[in-house]
């Protein structure tokens, strides 16, 4: 059965081949997938195919990629075909993630790619960043139904010193199999809505830049990183301090530990933390 996305394409063109269609998608920063028809019709989409609904059509195939060329070669291409959650009397078919037929070539560019190639196994993997930079190792955590997480911070036992300089945070440090901070470019915090049961201790820091002991961009007269022995998106100063001192539980000194105010307050240093991100589509 062949299927076509019901979403309105961002662009429709006639092209000579699937590769030309995929290149059109690559060259459009908003494009995350394309649909190629063997008569030469090429449609590009800004939605990912795992969030689209498909309808029947003959002679077409859907491809998804995140704009991923590395050193002029394709790194990842996923092809969708075969099984769909589709009642033949309905025109609408739902896409089923477990029914993806996957073609992966080369190296993955994020934990989502890793999940598609080695389904269900958490661990350390090599990925190539979307901007085509050097390969880096990352820690990916797969969950059964909700896709995959890229872990950006982990505290477990206090072996790693987190009282580090700004550039060390930018470059990343630690042991990916244990405690670490992942290199990152987004040093201004940008958050969506909170949900969960530990209380929201991050939204107060939303929109603020990253202060470390040697770079003070917080709104306090002092340097919050020095004052609270950490490095964070401090305001004046914090509701949370997950890069603070690893103090293993209750401490008398105020707000200098691995603190999450809404849950255990300023005098309890969490024993285990993980910060992780994943694409919004999941």
Binding site for Ca ion (CB under 5 A): 216, 218, 220
Residue number with CB closer to Ca ion (61 or 220) = 220
Strand spans (E) along 73-177: 73-74, 78-80, 85-86, 92-94, 123-128, 135-142, 148-155, 173-174
For 160, the 3-state DSSP assignment is coil
Residue number with CB closer to Ca ion (36 or 228) = 228
Least Å distance, CB 225 to Ca ion, is 9
Q: Find, among 32, 108, 85, 17, the residue nearest to 63 by Cα.
A: 32
- Residue 63, Cα to own-chain centre: how many angstroms? 20
Least Å distance, CB 101 to Ca ion, is 53
Residues 241/261, Cβ–Cβ less than 8 Å? no
Q: Count how many residues are written for the chain.
A: 282
Residue number with CB closer to Ca ion (139 or 223) = 223
Residue number with CB closer to Ca ion (241 or 269) = 241
Least Å distance, CB 215 to Ca ion, is 10
Least Å distance, CB 235 to Ca ion, is 10
Residues 130/197, Cβ–Cβ less than 8 Å? no
């Amino acid at each position: 059965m062949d299927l076509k996305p019901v979403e309105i394409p961002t662009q429709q063109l006639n092209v000579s081949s699937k590769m030309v269609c995929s290149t059109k998608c690559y060259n459009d920063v908003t494009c995350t997938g394309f649909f190629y028809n063997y008569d030469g019709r090429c449609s590009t989409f800004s939605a990912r195919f795992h969030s689209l609904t498909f309808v029947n059509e003959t002679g077409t195939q859907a491809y998804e990629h995140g704009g991923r060329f590395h050193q002029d070669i394709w790194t990842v291409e996923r092809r969708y075909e075969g099984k769909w959650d589709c009642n033949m009397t309905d025109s609408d078919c739902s896409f089923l993630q477990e029914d993806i037929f996957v073609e992966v070539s080369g190296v993955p560019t994020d934990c989502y790619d890793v999940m598609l190639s080695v389904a269900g196994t958490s661990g350390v993997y090599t990925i190539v960043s979307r901007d085509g930079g050097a390969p880096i190792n990352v820690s990916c955590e797969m969950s059964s139904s909700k896709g995959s997480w890229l872990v950006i911070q982990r505290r477990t036992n206090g072996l790693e010193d987190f009282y580090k300089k700004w550039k060390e945070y930018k470059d990343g440090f630690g042991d990916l199999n244990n405690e670490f901070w992942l290199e990152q470019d987004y040093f201004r915090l940008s958050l969506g809505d909170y949900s969960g049961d530990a209380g929201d201790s991050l939204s107060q820091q939303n929109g603020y830049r990253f202060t470390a002991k040697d770079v003070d961009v917080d709104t306090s007269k002092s340097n919050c990183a020095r004052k609270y022995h950490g490095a964070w998106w401090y305001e004046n100063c914090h509701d949370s301090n997950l890069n603070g001192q690893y103090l293993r539980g209750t401490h008398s000194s105020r707000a200098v530990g691995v603190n999450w105010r809404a849950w255990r307050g300023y005098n309890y240093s969490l024993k285990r933390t993980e910060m992780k991100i994943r694409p919004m589509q999941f």
